[in-house]
Every structure is written in C-alpha cells, then in structure tokens.
Amino acid sequence: MTLDESKIRLIMELRREGIADSAVLGAIERTPREIFIPTPIKTFAYDNRALPIGAGQTISQPYVVAYMTQALKLDDRCKVLEIGTGSGYQTAILAKLARRVYTIERHKSLAEEAGERFKELDLHTISTRVGDGSKGWPEQAPFDRIIVTAASEDVPETLLEQLAVGGIMVVPIGPQDGTQHIYRFTRTEHGFEPEKLLPVRFVPLVESEVRDSA
C-alpha cells in the first residue's frame, strides 16, 4: 500500500471513529505525517498509532491528534498556545486552522528539527520556543486556545490563567501510573468550566530545565 493509499485509509478510519469536523480532517489530509517520523519507520506514517521520535518522546496517535484538535473548536481568528512541540506534527495541523501558533518544547533537538519541518512546509505563522512548557508563554498571553500534549498530574493553573475569557484549553490530566483523561476547560467571566472527555496515555508534563537531547 502506498503512503497516499494509507492516508486515505486513515482518514476513513478517523471518520468512523467519530471525527466529524471537516476542517480538521482536511488539515490532517494536507499534512504529510511521514516527514515528522524517523526514516526507519516512515512506512508506518499513516497507521493509527503513536510512534517514537527520539528523546523518549512520541508522535501521538492520529486519532488523538484529531480528537484534541476537534475539541479545541478552532477558527482562523484563534491565537493558540501549544505545550510540547515534539515532532511538530500537531503544530502543523494547528497552523492550518488557526491565525497564529506559539509552541514550546523543552528538548532543544526536537524543537530545532520541528522548526526545519515548518520551513519545509512553508508554515510561517508558527513561533517556537525552547523552554519549560509548564510556565506557558506569559508575554504573549492571553490565548484563545491552549493545547497540552503531555499529561499533567493536576490541573495546570498557570496555563489556565493564560487563557482568554471565552477561550478553551484541552489537556490530558492524570497520574503516569493510573488513568489519564483529556479535559476541556472553557474560561467564562466567572471561572472555568471543565469537561472530562477521552481516556488517554501521554508522557508527563514536567517542570524542568531545557534538555538538549541530541
């Protein structure tokens, strides 16, 4: 099966699994997942599973990427903060749907590789930073949307405070040795409205120094 055939199969699978947002499906269809994956495993690019990308990190399962993106309810006016650039795959999809994406990665080597991919794909609305994602990007706050691609043990209050009124944050919450769920928080004039969504398994969101994982 060619990569194009595999991509068509994946899009059909995502539809069957409940991804109904045509803009999200279109962004996934237009984003070449194979360039975000190490050469030895490129043939698995459109399998609906997570894959290793180095530095102990993974590129998320396409269904989870699609689900979290759909849960953000993006439009082309949104200013988005992403915590955990990783390979840059999720970032690239966000950039096709939002006005501006700010993305933070603590592993310098992953951030640099992702930056090269953004150039290759001619994505100019992405700002990258190497640093501790748990602190957010306060000087660019508030954000219309925030997406966290690592699991927090508790509700990440620092990130919630960087969310605009009316904004949405999607984040996995739960212990590394227990059940994690994706939560969606909507900020109102009076506080935050949480929704418990999908059970998942993510690497941890850690507060630490920058890692050069070359």
CA dihedral 126, 130, 133, 136 (to 10 degrees): -60
213 noted as active-site residue: no
Q: In the prediction, which pLDDT does 151 show?
A: 87
The rounded average pLDDT for each run of 10 residues, N- to C-terminus, in the chain (214 residues) is 91 97 97 95 95 89 97 98 97 98 96 97 97 96 96 92 98 89 96 94 66 43
Q: Which listed residue (6, 60, 87, 208) is catalytic?
A: 60
Q: In the prediction, which pLDDT does 202 show?
A: 80
Q: In the prediction, which pLDDT does 65 show?
A: 97
Q: In the prediction, which pLDDT does 210 show?
A: 46
Rounded Cα distance between 95 and 100, Å, is 7
Q: In the prediction, which pLDDT does 208 show?
A: 54
Question: CA torsion sign, 209 to 202 to 109 to 123?
Answer: negative
Q: In the prediction, which pLDDT does 213 show?
A: 40
User: Do the Cβ atoms of 80 and 74 come closer than 8 Å?
Assistant: yes
Question: CA torsion sign, 152 to 57 to 85 to 179?
Answer: negative
Per CATH, domain 3-200 is 3.40.50.150: yes
pTM of the complete model: 0.93
Between the alpha carbon of residue 171 and those of residues 109, 122, 147, 161, the distances in Å are 24, 28, 6, 14
